[in-house]
Amino acid sequence: MAVRMLGAAVLLCVADGLHAFAIDEKGDIFNRKACPAFLMFVNVAYLAGMTFELPCNCKPKDVLSVVWYFQKNMDSPKTTVLTDFSGNVVVDSSRIRTGSDILKRFSIRMFSLIVFQAQVMDSGHYLCGTEKGDFFYGYDVDVQPIKNIRVAFVDRNQHVQDDSTEKFFSFFTAFWDWSRCDRCGVRGEQQRIGLCYVRSAKLHPRYQTAVPNVTSCGSKALPAHLQWSGHLRGPEIAIRSCLTPCRKKEVPKEGVQAISDLISKLGAKPWLPRVPTQFHKQPVGSGLIITCPGARPEHAVAWDKESVRLYRSRYLIGVNKSMRIFIDHGNHLHIQQVQDDDEGTYYCWREGRMVAGFRLRVSYLPRRWRTFDDPETIYAVKVIGLSYLVICGLFIVIHVCRCCPWALWYLARR
């Protein structure tokens, strides 16, 4: 018993020591990096829909909590406070909606600001400071839109955009590294995200960039006329095929696979992926959007309908304007006007692993008789009545206009 108590005490001492070391190490970061005497804005760029983190890289020793501020433009009098003045705002990212306000999509953890599902309207200045308005560190955030993003399929010999050079500036695309293959064991796809950047010697000196005279196209460091020119070029995505083996724990054992093949030959169900599956019933003719659990726009995500691979080269949004089933740039699967043949199980791959299944069942809504209390009936009656009054009014006006000349002519002759 004494030996167990001694061991527990040793473990507690070790845990306290590691916790103190972590706190000292975190505080040592601020001790090593001094805040600039003149506030600078560090330029960073992201794609719309992404989640990004802005660390407060410096602060005085006596400041125990930070306050984050958002300012659209440098000279704008409107400033949004992104904090509860305690520096510990934590939100549940699973409950965040894309269209929600920025005040519902941010979180502060360990002096860092986290913005979930960034939107183009989130572009601007983010400042780390105190409640009194003393600023330590600033960011120039550029969230680039995906509405008119350009896609290049490398397997079809499609190429990315060439650099465009003008008199005082030049635009180009800075690409990230290729993502992981979105599937394993079978042919998959990988993508490479490219953001718009501009090279110019006329940048504002208050903005700090990783490369001299180079900043993102939506940066506030550009003069006003150059910012407008930046809208002529948007972000890009390059997509190519790939093939990568699965890890050992993701491949079914030989015995299981042999039994699966035997059952399949006998006419029973073959081996199915052992992933969590959600069941859903959708009425025919309605729209449906399926989200891959835990996936973000920068992740490598793929969709399958049972044994059919829904490759982006065919199902990516914009490839065909008449598509009813497509994948958007946020990795969501869209099914418009659900039909009977859409019924089945849809599987989601994330970062090369199959992570979830979605079993869809199509149903028909029973015919319901309308009553005068239904909002649709009231709306229809109002529209029909208003249309009848408008038509009657036009009928009267037209006949009055036709009869007035005859009446005036008759009165003149008398």
Q: What is the 3-state secondary structure (H, E, C) of the chain?
A: CHHHHHHHHHHHHHHHHHHHHHHHHHHHHHHHCCCCCCCCEEEEEEECCCCEEECCCCCCCCCCCCEEEEECCCCCCCEEECCCCCCCCCCCHHHCCCCCCHHHCEEEECCEEEECCCCHHHCEEEEEECCCCCEEEEEEEEEECCCCCEEEEHHHCCCCCCCEECCCEEEEEEECCCCCCCCCCCEEEEEEEEEEEEEECCCCCCEECCCCCEEECCCCCCCHHHHHHHCCCCCEEEEEEEECCCCHHHCCCHHHHHHHHHHHHCCCCCCCCCCCEEEEEEECCCCEEECCCCCCCCCCEEEEECCEEECHHHHECCCCCCCCEEECCCCCEEECCCCHHHCEEEEEEECCEEEEEEEEEEECCCCCCCCCCCHHHHHHHHHHHHHHHHHHHHHHHHHHHHHHHHHHHHHHHC
Residue 10, pLDDT above cutoff 60: no
Q: Specify the higher pLDDT residue, 165 or 266.
A: 165
For the stretch 26-44, pLDDT in tens is: 444 445 456 766 788 999 9
Question: Is 177 within 8 Å of 204 (Cβ atoms)?
Answer: no
Which of 117-126, 268-277, 335-344, 360-369 is the least confident region? 268-277
Residue 13, pLDDT above cutoff 60: no
Question: Is 184 within 8 Å of 243 (Cβ atoms)?
Answer: no
pLDDT band with cut points at 50, 70 and 90 for residue 109 = confident
CA of residue 21 relative to chain centroid, distance: 36
Mean pLDDT (whole number) for 313-330: 88
For the stretch 275-290, pLDDT in tens is: 889 999 999 888 899 9
Segments making up each domain of the chain, as ranges:
41-144, 150-243, 275-363, 369-397
According to the model, what pLDDT value does residue 249 have?
A: 59
According to the model, what pLDDT value does residue 8 have?
A: 41
In the chain, what percentage of residues exceed pLDDT 90? 33
Mean pLDDT (whole number) for 405-413: 75
According to the model, what pLDDT value does residue 29 have?
A: 46
Model pTM greater than 0.85? no
Mean pLDDT (whole number) for 339-346: 93
Separation CA 378–CA 258 (nearest Å) = 63
Highest mean pLDDT among 60-64, 238-242, 393-397, 402-406: 238-242
Given this chain, do its domains 41-144 and 275-363 carry the same CATH topology? yes
Question: Average model confidence (pLDDT) for the chain?
Answer: 79
- Fold topology of 275-363: Immunoglobulin-like (2.60.40)
Residue 183, pLDDT above cutoff 90: yes
Looking at residue 215, its amino acid is T
- Fold topology of 41-144: Immunoglobulin-like (2.60.40)
pLDDT band with cut points at 50, 70 and 90 for residue 404 = confident
According to the model, what pLDDT value does residue 96 have?
A: 45
Residue 131, pLDDT above cutoff 70: yes
According to the model, what pLDDT value does residue 5 have?
A: 41
**Burial tier of 269 (Cβ tally within 10 Å: 0-12, 13-18, 19+):** exposed
